[in-house]
Chains A and B, each alone.
Chain A
């Protein structure tokens, strides 16, 4: 029985403000960016409304292909690590008593809210020669001399996973928290070992959540822009860095916009592909 009814024209009035705000400040900016990506750059100014495909053509150079390839690979790796660690972590988290869950969640949210700047700064300090863990290892006699591990590829990957991990956990959390414990218990009484029950039942039930987790971590890390500059070397700069660099420092908004659109299209395509693969497996399983 529905209490919600179909509204008349007058009942739509309260929408005026929120939809207006979102349209003016989100839809319109997006449309402008899309348009600008086809415009021509003007030295010293922002852009000129002359239709051109030049901004898109510029990608097809070896340099940008390399940057794109590196960005996608790095994000895919980070996403795999985040979900690989985050899934068992979230599962164990949801099995904890509610009060301890809350404590973990508060901690995760606090880490999640940290600025990229602060995370980058913190890790570069942690991996540095003067204030890093290597000092600890020296003190323990495991290392002869303190060394610096940043910048470097490993440091960058670590930082990216650090940023994306809390998001991944929070995305997996609802599915796993609502997972009926009796499912696992049923599998156990049917003779499955705990590990087998986890793999066959929990992984199976949460397949869609895992897929969304991978996508989220992937798209999220693609957008990370500061860490490559703080924890990586110039050869580790990702597309996001290039976009900002073009838009802000080279004052080439059209090219930056074109790259942003391209980045979004690539992300959307990969998301669609992942979903398609997931659905295909669903169908074959059914």
Chain B
């Protein structure tokens, strides 16, 4: 029995150690962000929330924040709008080139980001739109379209086709079936796809930098630019805010949706009870 307990302890130590390493930078950043002075010290010297206020007070930082939020909102919406008809089609019809269509939806995110980023740069430069605000929105939408494509595919697969048939026999036209049965069942997956794209767009650096780095400053770009002139606690405050947003969004998905299922495990209802 002691051997088994020893094993359990070993597993806990292992997972705890990894958790610690994953959390360490976040803890340090959080500590640094409440420093009373303008220098980075850990453990923090004094306690102050001024640096969080600074994000909104300083025009540079708040502008970057506005850019990041609007880009993330627009590009995530655009990504979902592209993924929805694509995944719907793949679910509704049986076509020979379904694999190709799916690959097209997944490829942007699977390639090394530098390559996609450079592709976008070459494209916008050729069109003469290099540096435009909308280039960031469109590039992010395409780059992150993979996330809603994946979540929506899982969502469509989870819809029992007999539900659609039941609605059809009950007299619903295809459009009515879509509105009254398919979309309501799909809603959590749409929200998830949007949330994933939103959070990752908020944090994305290289694509945004390549297509409009000198004209449209998003928060990650602003942080990187500021790093060259030395570290300030404002950066730490922003990083903390980012972590908080991510925790909030993914926490909500975990609370209201079936997160393990979205990430590929069996659904809670299909799992054998241990």
A interface residue numbers (CB < 8 A to B): 2-7, 11-12, 14-15, 17-19, 21-22, 25-30, 32-33, 36, 46, 85, 88-89, 92-94, 98, 101-103, 105-111, 113-119, 121-123, 125-126, 128, 130-133, 135, 162, 165-166, 170, 173-175, 177-178, 181, 194, 219-220, 222-223, 225-226, 230, 240, 243-244, 247-248, 253, 256-257, 260, 263-264, 267
Whether B210 pairs with A244 at a CB distance below 8 angstroms is yes
- Whether, in the assembled complex, B65 has its beta carbon less than 8 Å from a beta carbon of chain A, the answer is no
Question: What are 28 A-B contacts defined by CB distance under 8 Å?
Answer: A4-B92, A5-B93, A18-B84, A19-B104, A22-B82, A22-B108, A29-B122, A30-B119, A32-B126, A102-B260, A105-B260, A106-B254, A107-B22, A113-B203, A113-B242, A119-B25, A121-B239, A122-B28, A126-B25, A126-B28, A130-B42, A175-B264, A181-B274, A226-B224, A230-B227, A240-B112, A253-B122, A264-B115
Of all chain B residues, the one with the shortest Cβ separation from A36 is B122
Asked if residues A18 and B82 are in contact (CB atoms below 8 Å), the reply is yes
Contact of B112 among A4, A21, A106, A267 (CB under 8 A): A267
Complex alpha-carbon distance, A256 and B115, angstroms = 10
Q: Which of A7, A18, A121, A223 contacts B113 (CB 8 A)?
A: A223
Chain A residues near B101 (CB-CB < 8 A): 15, 19
Chain B residues closer than 8 Å to A101, beta-carbon distance:
260, 265
Cβ of B259 under 8 Å from chain A = yes
Which residues of the partner chain B approach A32 to less than 8 Å between Cβ atoms? 119, 122-123, 126
B193 within 8 A of A: no
CB distance from A260 to the nearest CB of B (A): 5
Contact status A177-B264, CB under 8 Å: yes
Q: Which residue of B lies closest to A3 (CB)?
A: B161
Residues facing A in B216-255 (CB within 8 A) are: 219-221, 223-224, 227, 231, 235-236, 238-239, 242-243, 246-247, 250-251, 253-254
Please state if B11 and A92 are interface contacts (CB–CB under 8 Å). yes
Q: Does the CB pair A110–B115 fall under 8 Å?
A: no
Residues of A close to B250: CB separation below 8 A:
105-106, 109-110, 113
In the complex, the 4 A-B pairs of residues with the closest C-beta atoms, listed nearest first: A174-B264, A223-B112, A122-B25, A177-B265
B43 to chain A, nearest CB (A): 8
CB-defined contacts of B183 to chain A, threshold 8 Å:
none
Q: If A15-B85, A121-B239 touch, does A22 touch B104 (CB 8 Å cutoff)? A: yes
Q: Is the interface of A mostly helix, strand, loop or mixed?
A: helix
Which chain B residue has the least Cβ–Cβ distance from A254?
A: B122
* Nearest chain A CB to B214 CB, angstrom units: 9
Residues of B within 8 A of A230 (CB): 227
B260 touches A135 (CB 8 A): no
Q: Is B24 an interface residue (CB 8 A)?
A: yes
A115 to B200, CA, bound (A): 8
Chain B residues with CB under 8 Å of A17's CB are 81-82, 85
CB distance from A56 to the nearest CB of B (A): 15
Q: Tell whether A26 pairs with B104 under 8 Å between CB atoms, given A6-B94, A223-B114.
A: yes
Q: Are B242 and A114 neighbours in the complex by a CB distance under 8 Å?
A: yes
**16 new A-B pairs (CB below 8 Å) besides A29-B120, A106-B259?**
A22-B105, A25-B123, A26-B142, A29-B122, A33-B123, A111-B22, A113-B250, A121-B227, A126-B24, A131-B28, A162-B21, A165-B22, A173-B264, A174-B263, A178-B265, A226-B224
B9 touches A (CB below 8 Å)? no
Cα(A111)–Cα(B115), bound, Å: 23
Q: Please state if B118 and A121 are interface contacts (CB–CB under 8 Å).
A: no
Measured between beta carbons, the chain B residues less than 8 angstroms from A36 are: 122
Asked whether B89 lies within 8 Å of A15 as measured between CB atoms, the reply is: yes
Residue contact B89 to A122, C-beta cutoff 8 Å? no
Cβ-based interface call for B66 (8 A): no
CB within 8 A of A162: which of B22, B81, B123, B254?
B22
A115 contacts B242, CB within 8 Å? Answer: yes
Contact B95 A113, beta carbon cutoff 8 Å? no
* Residues of chain B within 8 A of A89, CB atoms compared: 14-15, 18
B254:A105 contact, CB within 8 angstroms? yes
A27 to chain B: which residues have CB within 8 Å? 104
Given contacts A98-B260, A110-B243, A115-B204, is CB(A92)–CB(B15) below 8 Å? yes
Does B48 reach chain A (CB closer than 8 Å)?
no
Q: Is B73 part of the binding interface, using a Cβ–Cβ cutoff of 8 Å?
A: no
Instruction: Flag if B165 contacts A14 (CB, 8 Å).
Output: no
B contact residues around A165 at 8 Å (CB): 18, 22
Query: What's the minimum C-beta distance from A222 to chain B, rounded to whole angstroms?
Result: 5
In the complex, chain A residues whose CB is within 8 Å of the CB of B213: 248
* B247 contacts A26, C-beta separation under 8 Å: no
Q: Contacts A22-B145, A101-B260, A263-B114 known; A122 to B29 CB distance under 8 Å? A: yes
Does any Cβ of A come within 8 Å of B173's Cβ?
no
Contact A106 B251 (CB under 8 A): yes
**Does B83 make an interface contact (CB < 8 A)?**
yes
Q: Return the contact of B263 from the options A25, A173, A257 (Cβ within 8 A).
A: A173
- Whether B200 contacts A113 by the Cβ 8 Å rule is yes
A263 and B95 contact, CB distance less than 8 A? no
Question: In the complex, A2→B122 CA distance in Å?
Answer: 44
Say whether A226 contacts B206, CB under 8 Å: yes
